[in-house]
Each structure stands twice: as C-alpha cells, then as structure tokens.
Amino acid sequence: MPLLLCALLALLVSGSALAIEVLAAEVPPYAIKSQQGAPTGMAVEVLEEAARRLGEPLHIEVLPFARALSQARHRKDVLLLPPAWSEERASHFLWIVPLLEESFVLVTDRRHHPTPLTLAEARRRGDKIGVLRNSLAHDRLRRVEGVTLELATEEVRNAQKLSLGRISAWAAAWNTVNYNQLRAELPTSHLLRGETLQRTSLYLAAHPEFPAAQASRWRAALESMHRDGTLRRILAQYDYQAPEP
C-alpha cells in the first residue's frame, strides 16, 4: 500500500508539472481575477476551450497588467494573455495567434464634454487623459508632445475618475471602457466615444524563445475555434463589440 500511494503521488506531481503556465494581464473583460475560484474573462475562456481541445492542463495566474508583461519578457516557458500588438512590443514577444480585434479610443463623459474629443483638441486644451500603466494607450500617448497623462493600475479607476471630472478623457480599448464603466456601477450612457487612436489585435503571446512546436499547437487550436464559430460565441457572452469596419 505505501508503494502504491507513492506511485499515485508521483503521478499527481508529474501531471501538475506538465500544466501550461499562463500569465493573464488583469484587464476586464479579457482577464478577470476572481475573489474566490478560478479566473474568468473572455480571453481566459477562449484559452480554456483551446486547452480542452488540446488535452492540455492550464494554470492561469492573473497579475496586474504591467507585472504580467514584465514577467513574460523574462520567462521562456509561459504563455501571456492578452497583450495588444504594437510596433514597440513587436520584438519583445512571440505573437502566437490573434484572439480578437480592438479599437483604442478617446472617451469622455458627455455631461462634461458633449462633443466627441480628438487628440488634437485634448492637446490644445491641456486635458488630462487617464490611461492604464504600460497599456497600449499609455505607450501610444506618452510619445505625443503636449499630452498630460494620469496613470492608473486598474481601468475601473479611470471610469471613476472620468465620472468625477478628475480626468477629462480616458484612453483605452472600447470593450474595456464599457465593461469597467459597468463595473464601477456607472451608466454607459454617460460615455461619449471620440477619436480612434489605434485599431489592433489582442493576442496569445509568449517569450520569443517559447517552444515553436508548442506555439504551433496552440495556434492551430485557436484558429479552429475561429473557423467553427466557438470563439465568436464566447465573445458574445461578454457583449463584445467588434471595431467598426
């Protein structure tokens, strides 16, 4: 009996060691850290379905956005979910497969600013723009002369500050804006979409030296989900709004 117990324990240990480690950047609605239980979110659910098809166990760790990106740049054995592709980040990661399209936009509260805001107007007025630290919006706007940025570690903080008038505008992905406005218990009818700063894809990514064979398997599984409509059905559960053509 002791020998049998040891054998079973060895199998459990070896099985857990084979679990794929995933670093999920905490940006609702893509990756949501649960107070109790497993993480959720549209990107998390998409990856879980791909793992089921591959027969791969997953261990998903939801981390603050900047920390997830930093760790993934130094760890060759983990997957990263779901960074937005940009020229600045292109060489830092292996971009395995796109998961969904997003528009990064300027948003105002129509009670304080009743007309759609452009970046040129925000610069001219000296508006303070809220961004998530190390996000695509942060990367994009910190290079623009004359822009004043207010950094946050969670997008829900930007929703709260916009409503209170502590920032004049909020720059983020449109689906992120809508979800976090609701998360802050604020009406989405207050949101006014302004200029589109960039349209890009959110990806499953990894360190550039992540095993190529593993990356190919994940790419094939996720591409099959695109083809058979599974990915679209998962995104629809979160009221995903695709960018306008």
Confidence grade of residue 160 (pLDDT, cut at 50, 70, 90): very high
Which pLDDT belongs to residue 96? 99
Is residue 9 over pLDDT 80? no
Residue 15: pLDDT band by 50, 70, 90 thresholds?
very low
Query: Looking at the domain covering 102-199, what would its CATH class be?
Result: alpha beta
List the beta strands (DSSP E) in the chain: 20-25, 58-63, 78-81, 94-109, 128-132, 148-152, 169-173, 191-206
Residue whose entry in the numeric block shows the structure tokens 């759609």:
116
Under CATH, which architecture does the 20-101+200-236 domain have?
3-Layer(aba) Sandwich (3.40)
DSSP state of 147: -
User: Quick one: pLDDT band at residue 37, thresholds 50, 70, 90?
Assistant: confident
Question: Above 70 in pLDDT, residue 161?
Answer: yes
What percent of the chain shows pLDDT beyond 70?
A: 93
Asked if residue 205 lies in contact with residue 214, where contact means CB atoms within 8 angstroms, the answer is no
Helix (H, G, I), strand (E, B) or coil at 86: coil
Judged against a pLDDT cut of 90, whether residue 41 lies above it is answered with yes
Query: Which DSSP category does 25 fall into?
Result: E
pLDDT of residue 164: 98
Longest dimension (CA), the chain: 77
Interval 25-38 mean pLDDT: 92
Categorize the per-residue pLDDT at 14 as very low, low, confident or very high, splitting at 50, 70 and 90: very low
Across the chain, mean pLDDT equals 93
What does residue 115 show for φ and ψ, rounded to 5 degrees? -120, 150
**Do the first three CATH levels of 20-101+200-236 and 102-199 match, i.e. the same topology?**
yes
The pLDDT assigned to 19 comes to 86
Torsion of CA 106, 94, 80, 242, to 10 degrees: 40
Pairing of strands 128-132, 148-152: parallel
Whole-model pTM?
0.88
Please state the rounded mean pLDDT for residues 1-30. 67
Q: At what angle do helices 155-164 and 174-183 cross, to 10 degrees?
A: 70
Segment 74-94 mean pLDDT: 96
Show me where the domains of the chain are located.
Answer: 20-101+200-236, 102-199
Buried b / exposed e across 93-123, counting CB within 10 Å, b at 16+? bbbbbbbbebbbbbbbbeeebeeebebebbb
Amino acid at 92: H
